[in-house]
Chain A
Amino acid sequence: MERKFIQGNEACSEGALYAGCRFYAGYPITPSSEIMEVMSVRLPKVGGVFIQMEDEIASVCAIVGASLGGLKSMTATSGPGFSLMQEGIGFACMAEVPCVIVNVMRSGPSTGYPTGPSQADMMQVRWGTHGDHPMIALTPSTVQEILTETVRAFNLAETYRTPVVLLYDEVIGHMREAITLPKEGELEVVDRARPNCPPEEYRPYDISKGEIPPLAAYGEGYRFHVTGLYHGEDGFPTGNTKLIEEANKRLLSKVEKNREKIWKNEDFYLDDAEIGIFAYGVSARSAKFAVKELRKKGIKVGLLKPLTIWPFPDKAVREMAEKVDTIIVPEMNLGQISLEVERAAGGRCDVRGIYRVDTEPIHPQQIMDAILSREELTLPTELAERDMTDG
């Protein structure tokens, strides 16, 4: 097995190529540009297409077009570019076009601090484009995971005919670690279902045989219409209210119904935990460090690390909430995912956040201090003393 010391963004490109991505359109932006650099060198060598577009709006539209042409396609960007891509992402949701969009998070809003990491696009990823729409987003926290999750992002996009966002912070994107490159056949690679009917019988949105209809490639003899408007099974716009309602519900349910298959979490010391941490990306690494240190002191703390953040891992959080008395959510924003955790915990335990937005990752000590001070607070005697000194 080949061991390589590479950057997170390079691992993303490796994963994309492994998954069979053959089209990249993008506009460079820190801290995602290395993905584009690698693709510009590697794609032509495997017969793929690389285009530097005029902006991010064009980039996302180009990958939607390429995917309709039959190629697995991707783009990569950061906050400002991701904001520009929202319209195209909505179109891909509506027209049900598989594609992968990578967002390497930097400090925002607006151009923010370009080289500073952040985890503040969590809600934008879910709800950035308008209307009720499905969203699958994956959150790796190691260089190896960036590779495997990029492959999984393509697999999910192809399976559910929907855009998938790979979401990680600048620290993970620019960090270098030794990884093992998977051999051919080692990781599962999924290709979209293709129609097996003659072109003249093809109905692009015919759901009579399943919620996710096969997708033909333009240029192979299948002529069909694609639009961002609500459409009937022939792909042409419709004003039929019943069809509109059914179509909107199906868009969501094709993902939500399959969320057990889309969810992926990692547990660390959760079995006997009294305090749970819910953390993703670089914050999950800080949390793991803190869990190891606190366990040495005999404090029963565990970590739940989601690799799928959308659809939100309600079930895993609920199960954790039943076991622990507090869930701590460290994140590099001002409380985006902690509110989701609170919703999923449904009052079964206390939920607290540790937030940091100064462009430095959350230090393990911050998590340890928060947990240790909480321990003190649960001791009635110390609580009384504290009240007295404060008073």
Chain B
Amino acid sequence: MSDRVELRFSGSGGQGMILAGIIMAEAAAIYDGKNAVQSQSYGPESRGGATRAEVIISTEEIDYPKATSIDAMLAMTQEACNKYHKDIKEGGILLIDADEVRDIPKGNFKVYSFPIIRYAMENLGKAIVANIMALGMITELTGVVSHQAIEKAVLARVPKAFLELNKKALHAGFEKAKELKPVEA
């Protein structure tokens, strides 16, 4: 199970974390020809509360569908970051929204920080695409799926009227992540 890659997308209910997980898993399973399982955990609220979506990608059969030792995690809120960062493996990646997560957790993992929601709002015109931008960043930081696969998966899932916006958000994610350096501990 050495090639098992585990990703966790966490934030608050309504931020599109589960959708981000689904798109990532589809990119791997449908467009990159690997095995993928996506699962989720959320509270009874339809908005708010800590939400997480997990994606396991492997070339082998995936048995346990939940994360055991996380390669990369996204945290869009402080609450989700605090609650869910403990399973990140040594040398793993934590990507946080710079404005939302002020208290950066300590651990043997690399932390990348970027104001994802603010950037989406100011430069893309809509905060709602922050999850797609984050998806681009996680793809760039991990290389777990190809750019083509994630783009196809995003375009297959979003409403027609917003194809360009989402494509722009995804590519902004690729570019911003490329320039990003880990936060000094």
Taking beta carbons and an 8 Å cutoff, which residues of A are in contact with B?
3, 5, 30, 113-115, 171, 174-178, 282, 285-286, 288-289, 292-293, 360-361, 363-365
Q: Is B3 an interface residue (CB 8 A)?
A: no
Q: Please, how many angstroms separate the alpha-carbon atoms of A175 and B37 in the complex?
A: 7
Count of chain B residues with Cβ under 8 Å from any Cβ of A?
Answer: 22
Q: Show 25 A/B contacts (Cβ-Cβ < 8 Å), sorted by A.
A: A5-B22, A5-B26, A5-B36, A114-B44, A115-B41, A115-B43, A171-B65, A171-B66, A175-B39, A176-B25, A176-B38, A177-B37, A177-B38, A177-B62, A178-B35, A288-B64, A289-B1, A289-B63, A289-B64, A293-B1, A361-B66, A363-B68, A364-B64, A364-B68, A365-B68
CB distance from A360 to the nearest CB of B (A): 8
Given contacts A176-B37, A364-B68, whether A5 and B63 have CB atoms under 8 Å apart is no
Contact indicator A285/B65 (Cβ below 8 Å): yes
- Chain A residue nearest to B45 in the complex (CB): A115
Interface centre among A114, A178, A288 (most CB of B within 10 A): A178
Residues of A within 8 A of B39 (CB): 171, 174-176
- Chain A residue nearest to B25 in the complex (CB): A176
CB distance from B25 to the nearest CB of A (A): 6
Q: Is B180 an interface residue (CB 8 A)?
A: no
Select which of B30, B44, B66 is within 8 A of A178 by beta carbon: B30
Interface flags, B1-27, vs A, CB<8A=1, else 0: 100000000000000000000100110
Residues of B within 8 A of A175 (CB): 37-39, 65
Q: Please, how many angstroms separate the alpha-carbon atoms of A285 and B68 in the complex?
A: 13
Q: Please, how many angstroms separate the alpha-carbon atoms of A24 and B68 in the complex?
A: 38
Residues of A within 8 A of B66 (CB): 171, 360-361, 363
Residues of B within 8 A of A360 (CB): 66
CB distance from B47 to the nearest CB of A (A): 14
Contact indicator A115/B30 (Cβ below 8 Å): no
Known A285-B65, A288-B63; further 14 A-B contacts with Cβ < 8 A: A5-B30, A5-B36, A115-B42, A115-B43, A171-B39, A174-B39, A175-B39, A176-B25, A177-B36, A177-B37, A285-B64, A289-B64, A292-B63, A361-B64
Residues of A within 8 A of B120 (CB): none
| In the complex, number of A-B residue pairs with CB atoms less than 8 Å apart | 62
**For chain A, what secondary structure do more than half of its interface residues adopt (helix, strand, loop), or is it mixed?**
mixed
Q: Please, how many angstroms separate the alpha-carbon atoms of A358 and B1 in the complex?
A: 27
CB distance from B96 to the nearest CB of A (A): 24
CB distance from B40 to the nearest CB of A (A): 6
CB distance from B106 to the nearest CB of A (A): 24
CB distance from A174 to the nearest CB of B (A): 6
Contact indicator A178/B64 (Cβ below 8 Å): no
Residues of B within 8 A of A286 (CB): 63-64
Contact indicator A292/B38 (Cβ below 8 Å): no
Residues of B within 8 A of A292 (CB): 1, 63
CB distance from B153 to the nearest CB of A (A): 9
CB distance from A291 to the nearest CB of B (A): 9
Residues of A within 8 A of B44 (CB): 30, 113-115
Residues of B within 8 A of A177 (CB): 29, 36-38, 62
Q: Please, how many angstroms separate the alpha-carbon atoms of A190 and B36 in the complex?
A: 33
- Chain B residue nearest to A111 in the complex (CB): B44
Q: Please, how many angstroms separate the alpha-carbon atoms of A3 and B36 in the complex?
A: 13
Interface centre among A113, A176, A177, A365 (most CB of B within 10 A): A176
Contact indicator B37/A3 (Cβ below 8 Å): no
* Nearest 8 Cβ contacts at the A-B interface: A289-B63, A289-B64, A288-B63, A178-B29, A176-B38, A175-B39, A285-B63, A5-B26
Residues of B within 8 A of A176 (CB): 22, 25, 37-39
CB within 8 Å of A: which of B44-62? 44, 62
- Chain B residue nearest to A364 in the complex (CB): B64
Q: Please, how many angstroms separate the alpha-carbon atoms of A324 and B108 in the complex?
A: 41
Residues of A within 8 A of B41 (CB): 115
